[in-house]
Structure 1
Amino acid sequence: MTPSFPGTADHVSPHGPRPGVRPAWLLIGPALAASLGAFLLTLTVGPEWAAMQRDMGLPASAILWVFVAYLLPALLAVPIGALLGRRWPTAVGLPAIALMVPGSVLITLASGSGSLLLGRAVAGFGAGLAWGVTAVLVAQAGPRRVWAAPLVAGAVVLGLGLGPVAGALLARMLSWRWPFMLAVPFGAVVLLVMVVSGIIMLIRQASTPTQPPAAPSA
């Protein structure tokens, strides 16, 4: 028999919910956060970077540091997000958004290379947390990861592709700073989704009856 998610109608187990298997809907918030992290990663590609370079007087070689300032903290945060997210996915997802949004605001308000790189580092660390916890939740989705993994991967790839497009359009129409502000409303939505899903999980856990220990055999 194919195993199912705990708390769903098709889950039947005399010993309670299967350990280590989480409902697929818990992936929604972290997956959206992971796609936002991918969006912010590629946002400085193309005309967006050229506009940043002109406005702040940065050398052409600075684009490497702008990428490293984001990608290195992100790579360092991925194992942290995966390790802690295995047990506390919501508690890891919330700080991920809480870092990406202020980091993006800091980039928007940056007056020099120092504040620009700091904002990229803060947002990058949050993105790494989101990527780590999302990967763990996909692994914990049980048999539903067959379709959950492609959906999450598609959302991340979409974020990667939208970064340069949104950056190019808004940089030409307004300023290179405005695309980073997209993280604020999107992050607010993701934050709300994570809070609601976290509350639902707490209610479900509180309503799940604990199983009495088995009697010792003679």
Structure 2
Amino acid sequence: MARGAQGNGADDGWTPERSVAGSRNPWSIVAVISIATFMTVLDTSIANVALDHIGGGMSVTYDEATWVTTSFLISTAIIIPISGWLADVIGRKRYYMASVALFTISSFLCGIAPNFTFLVLARVLQGAAGGGLAAVEQSMLVDTFPPRQRSLAFAAYGIVVIAGPVLGPVIGGLITDNASWRWCFLINVPIGALSLFLVHLFVDEPKALQDERRQMLEGGLKVDFIGFLLVAGFLGFLEV
């Protein structure tokens, strides 16, 4: 009765020991990860309106140019199922920062791509980095916010997830008409650098997660490579 009277019953089972916010306001985490989130989901659609220009600049047909989008989606779909495991092995903050860094670098490579094959390969890297961000961000929110606040946190996060693909064609069209299609990718470089800096400052690696990671590594890594290859192949062909 006392617990119910205090209004904390909805938070039973949640502990702040796993929060990545540390002693900071948990809403700072939503603000920080929203930058990388917006950058990632924006790239699912920003290049769509530039495919004609990309095809013309790279001397490929429109159908071939669609691989700029398809390759990104395929690698994103493949990496998501193992993102949680990779975050546990590497460390969640370290894996998240590596994904942001890889997304930023691959965006730069897309922007300076000398040929179409190079561009598609850079988009594969970009998609793999983006897929790694999505799963880790959601686990961060779950661990940082108690159940009674979690719906609001995910609502704010969801607004960013929806806004990216909606604004992507608009931003992509403006960039392509007024500059070059290459800036559809180069625009991510300063955003990614800012995100990396803020994640380093505001996101913690809780001791509870460090202890769990240490115990897992001491017990030995177990990987179902056959299962992963089957899932990766299925998701890859599904996207194609």
Deviations along 1:21-73, one digit per CA (max 9) or x if unpaired, are 55433344333212211111211112x11111111111121243222210111
Alignment partner, residue 64 of structure 2:
62
Structure 1 range deviating more: 71-80 or 184-193: 71-80
Alignment partner, residue 151 of structure 1:
156
5+ residue gaps in structure 2?
1-6, 209-240
Using structure 2 for the length normalisation, give the TM-score.
Answer: 0.71
Could you tell me how far apart the structure 2 residues matched to 1:153 and 1:21 are? 20
Alignment partner, residue 141 of structure 2:
138
Question: Where does 1:141-180 land on structure 2 (aligned, <5 Å)?
Answer: 141-143=145-147, 144-180=149-185
5+ residue gaps in structure 1?
6-12, 207-218
Deviations along 1:119-143, one digit per CA (max 9) or x if unpaired, are 1011111100111101212332322
- Give the C-alpha shift of residue 83 in structure 1: 3.3
User: CA 1:22/1:95 → structure 2, altered by over 3 Å: closer, same or farther?
Assistant: closer
- Give the C-alpha shift of residue 197 in structure 1: 1.6
User: CA 1:21/1:178 → structure 2, altered by over 3 Å: closer, same or farther?
Assistant: closer
- Structure 1 or 2: larger helix share? 2
Q: Which residue type is aligned with residue 167 of structure 1?
A: G
Alignment partner, residue 117 of structure 2:
114
Q: Is the 8 A contact 1:44 1:164 kept in 2?
A: yes
Could you tell me how far apart the structure 2 residues matched to 1:107 and 1:145 are? 36
Q: Give the number of equivalent residue pairs.
A: 193
Alignment partner, residue 104 of structure 1:
107
- Alignment pair present for 1:30 and 2:33: yes
Q: Is the 8 A contact 1:56 1:112 kept in 2?
A: yes
Alignment partner, residue 77 of structure 1:
79
Using structure 1 for the length normalisation, give the TM-score.
Answer: 0.78
* Runs of 4+ in structure 1 over 6 Å off: none
Q: Is the 8 A contact 1:85 1:132 kept in 2?
A: no
Q: Is the 8 A contact 2:54 2:65 kept in 1?
A: no
Structure 1 range deviating more: 151-160 or 121-130: 151-160
Let me know the Cα RMSD of the aligned residues. 2.7
